[in-house]
Structure 1
Amino acid sequence: MTIVPPEALRPSGGGDHYRIFTPYLRAWTRAGRRQVLDAPEKVPFPGGPALGRPEISREPYGSTRRARRPYEFPRGGESAARRRMARWLEWCAEDYADGKDDLAGDRTSRLGPYLRLGCVSPLELESLAENGEFVRQLCWRDFYHQVTSAFPRIDRDDYRPRGTRWRDDDGAIRAWKEGLTGVPIVDAGMRHLLAEGWMPNRVRMITASFLVKRVFVDWRVGAGHFAELLLDGVVASNYGNWQWVAGTGNDTRPNRTLSPVRQARRFDPQGEYVRRYLPELAAVPAKAVHEPWRSAPVKGYPPPLVPFG
């Protein structure tokens, strides 16, 4: 479910879809919108199996049990989605541009799972959100849907082949998945994913860039792991973003590499996010928490998987 249908916009210069986000954003912003409709009073169900409540595990994902606090998955359904939407629009939407990358503050909307399952309408959400940066994120969602509609093998094939030669390294892949790479911001993000089935978009980019640009593991490996665990793991956005990071997708700078240390110092300056998911670093001072390898080894925490200068 999108705001603008994938097939509704076509580049003026020809082609069946937009390959670059900025011109798509301009066209998307000018495009007409369907009317937001009220929910029907009654939804008829076909006969068949009796409806009931599914049994949902409250255990963290995966084999790693390293999160500091228990976490209960968000309640499902439209009512819960609308409550979440209303609270976020009232309290957090206004400063979204400043808060979306505040890793310790956790000020993102967390509406992704509800959008994925159709519990809340992206069209209604756009009509209620007055923050331009948040609406821009909804446009990114539509952008990847139209890319995937035109290139349905986005989860298997390079959108823009670069001839990259990937490494096969089961040990490195396992360390990345379990949050044991020795790079705190990467490990915190991966343990966050294991514990909650979610992580902030900034951390998704950092952890993905580390795997494909520093460990040189095929983006399909990482994207498949995310797809298995993310509560909001939509094929279009998940695989589109992984290809963007890997340089095989829609990024106009395919050689872009994110420095995990610089990103961590900028978006988690006091190390609060890292300590939340890496209790073994709780006693490390803030100035050293993002590069613990520069001081004495930390008991119970591995050295970096790849060299850092």
Structure 2
Amino acid sequence: MTVAIVLFTADLRVHDHPPLRAALSSSDEVVPLFVHDAAIEAAGFAAPNRRAFLSDCLTDLDEALRDRGGRLVVRSGSTTEEVCRVAGEVDAHEVHMAAGVSRFALLREARLRQALASAGRRLRVHDAVTTVLPPGEVTPAGRDHFAVFTPYFRRWSQVFPRSPLAAPGAVRVPSDVASEDLLSRRSVTGVSEGLATGGETEGRKRVTAWWRACLAAYEDRHDDLAGDATSRLSPHLHFGTLSPAELVHRARKAGGAGAEAFVRQLCWRDFHHQVLAARPTAAVADYRPQHDRWRSGRAASQEIAAWKEGRTGYPVVDAAMRQLSHEGWMHNRGRLLAASFLTKTLYVDWRIGARHFLDLLVDGDIANNQLNWQWMAGTGTDSRPNRVLNPVLQGKRYDPDGAYVRRWVPELDGIAGAAVHEPWKLPAPERARYDYPDPVVSLAEGRDRFQRARGRAD
């Protein structure tokens, strides 16, 4: 009997899973393995919202495997040590896993490959499991990655992703391999009250419902803050309960402007992954330095606290930050506004904002979080690094009736229509009725300060 291990990481599904299908085709039995790596927690990336969502995903994955005659094996510790330990227990001849792009993932792969080779075992790493195309699949002439999205999108669109794979009908697991108990969501403390449910089953249900109700109108409505018409699939893509390649195939089959706009968003995700794969330091360092001397000190600290708490005095920014706190998720337009306000209006280091997002976002991963923050801060791939989003104008454009603001900033519920975006303009007697702060800084002062810092003042 030949045995292979399938190491699950950010690919917690059974549908369209190349490592699982490859292991099943080459071996009599497989060990579906997940390792709670202590290094992730030690590095501060095991945030409560992601741990809770992960517990849902692992429970659902275990149930899917049991439906096929198998089960999920869970261990805790160093991934390298635990994989090698399990491989020794079942005499596995090879280990299959999905490729990653972060510095942590690449180091994990290198260590695992070396340790397995020393024991006469093989590591097989599969591309295009967590992305549509592998990083490096399309590159510009003479360079290892695209630094601008639009030319990347043109080339990316010309390459057809691999065909999706059906879920296996049966998974045979050695009976004597031990497993830890699955973590329960209820055992995780500090979880956002409105955190969504995780797992492949929930993800596929979400796709079906959103596809039917919102895909066709996605191009027109994806920035509608109050309408909440975005897919909300980002947590499932982060944990790999959904296959991005399968989503592209389904969207292209559906066709239409909404489907094309959705595919473009999936391309943005691939774009960021190929940037990080080529420049791992972009997770912590400016991709395109602007020689910023970010504000610090007491005043900046007070403004950062107000931003985190959703008490900046700019209603649409505060609404977005409160949504993040309550749901562990934020509308994409809200993310842009919150990031622009912190980095351009308050002129605070993007890394402070990125860290706060990673502390709360259920979909927070290094590639998308860090590079989106850099894009908004003007230190990343944006070709207009000094653009500033005006939260008042943006609020009136993407939340014209103020419904999004009133949903998340209920103390302003009594202000009708677009006036909710500028409560400081209310007559003094009316303004006094609302327990809501004045702006921490005027937009004009913030803009002038930023332009001086970037050397663009008149």
TM-score range, shorter chain: over 0.9
Identical amino acids, percent of aligned pairs: 49
Amino acid of the structure 2 residue aligned with 1:120: L
Please point out which of 419, 422, 425 is paired with 1:288: 419
Question: Contact (CA 8 Å) 1:148, 1:236: kept in 2 or not?
Answer: yes
Instruction: Give the equivalent residue in structure 1 for 2:208.
Output: 86
CA distance in 1, matches of 2:271, 2:369: 12
**Compared with structure 1, are the counterparts of its residues 20 and 195 closer, same or farther at alpha carbon in structure 2 (3 Å cutoff)?**
same
Instruction: Give the equivalent residue in structure 2 for 1:231.
Output: 362
Instruction: Give the equivalent residue in structure 1 for 2:56.
Output: none
Q: Does 1:49 align with 2:171?
A: no
Amino acid of the structure 1 residue aligned with 2:151: P
Amino acid of the structure 2 residue aligned with 1:218: D
* TM-score (structure 1 length as normaliser): 0.93
Aligned residue runs from structure 1 range 109-188, under 5 A:
109-129=231-251, 130=255, 131-168=259-296, 169-188=300-319
Instruction: Give the equivalent residue in structure 1 for 2:390.
Output: 259
SS at match of 1:85: helix
Q: Displacement of 1:53 after TM fit?
A: 4.8
**Compared with structure 1, are the counterparts of its residues 43 and 212 closer, same or farther at alpha carbon in structure 2 (3 Å cutoff)?**
farther
Instruction: Give the equivalent residue in structure 2 for 1:301.
Output: 436
**Bigger strand fraction:** 2
* TM-score (structure 2 length as normaliser): 0.63
CA distance in 2, matches of 1:43, 1:153: 39
- 1:175-204 CA-partner distances (Å, limit 9, x unpaired): 000001010000000000000011111110
CA distance in 2, matches of 1:255, 1:114: 33
Please point out which of 227, 240, 264 is paired with 1:105: 227
**Compared with structure 1, are the counterparts of its residues 233 and 145 closer, same or farther at alpha carbon in structure 2 (3 Å cutoff)?**
same
How many residues of Structure 1 are paired with residues of Structure 2 in the alignment?
299
SS at match of 1:303: coil
SS at match of 1:288: helix
SS at match of 2:321: helix
5+ residue gaps, structure 1: 62-70
Instruction: Give the equivalent residue in structure 2 for 1:3.
Output: 132
Which protein shows a greater Rg?
2
- 1:11-49 CA-partner distances (Å, limit 9, x unpaired): 02x111000001100110011321110012244567333
Please point out which of 331, 356, 372 is paired with 1:200: 331
CA distance in 2, matches of 1:249, 1:199: 21
CA distance in 2, matches of 1:73, 1:225: 17
5+ residue gaps, structure 2: 1-129, 445-458
Amino acid of the structure 2 residue aligned with 1:98: D
Amino acid of the structure 2 residue aligned with 1:276: R
CA distance in 2, matches of 1:243, 1:78: 31
Instruction: Give the equivalent residue in structure 2 for 1:19.
Output: 147
**Compared with structure 1, are the counterparts of its residues 293 and 120 closer, same or farther at alpha carbon in structure 2 (3 Å cutoff)?**
same
CA distance in 2, matches of 1:120, 1:170: 39
Amino acid of the structure 2 residue aligned with 1:39: A
Instruction: Give the equivalent residue in structure 2 for 1:67.
Output: none
Instruction: Give the equivalent residue in structure 2 for 1:64.
Output: none
Q: Displacement of 1:170 after TM fit?
A: 1.2
CA distance in 2, matches of 1:151, 1:170: 30
Q: Displacement of 1:133 after TM fit?
A: 0.5
**Bigger helix fraction:** 2
**Compared with structure 1, are the counterparts of its residues 178 and 21 closer, same or farther at alpha carbon in structure 2 (3 Å cutoff)?**
same
CA distance in 1, matches of 2:223, 2:311: 23
CA distance in 2, matches of 1:302, 1:30: 50
Instruction: Give the equivalent residue in structure 1 for 2:159.
Output: 31
Question: Contact (CA 8 Å) 2:237, 2:243: kept in 1 or not?
Answer: yes
Please point out which of 88, 95, 103 is paired with 2:217: 95
Instruction: Give the equivalent residue in structure 1 for 2:405.
Output: 274
- Higher RCO (CA < 8 A, seq sep 6+): 1
CA distance in 2, matches of 1:133, 1:95: 10
**Compared with structure 1, are the counterparts of its residues 93 and 240 closer, same or farther at alpha carbon in structure 2 (3 Å cutoff)?**
same
**Compared with structure 1, are the counterparts of its residues 73 and 24 closer, same or farther at alpha carbon in structure 2 (3 Å cutoff)?**
same
Q: Displacement of 1:285 after TM fit?
A: 2.4
Amino acid of the structure 2 residue aligned with 1:54: S
CA distance in 2, matches of 1:42, 1:305: 59
Question: Contact (CA 8 Å) 1:60, 1:194: kept in 2 or not?
Answer: no
Please point out which of 198, 201, 209 is paired with 2:340: 209
CA RMSD of aligned residues (A): 1.6
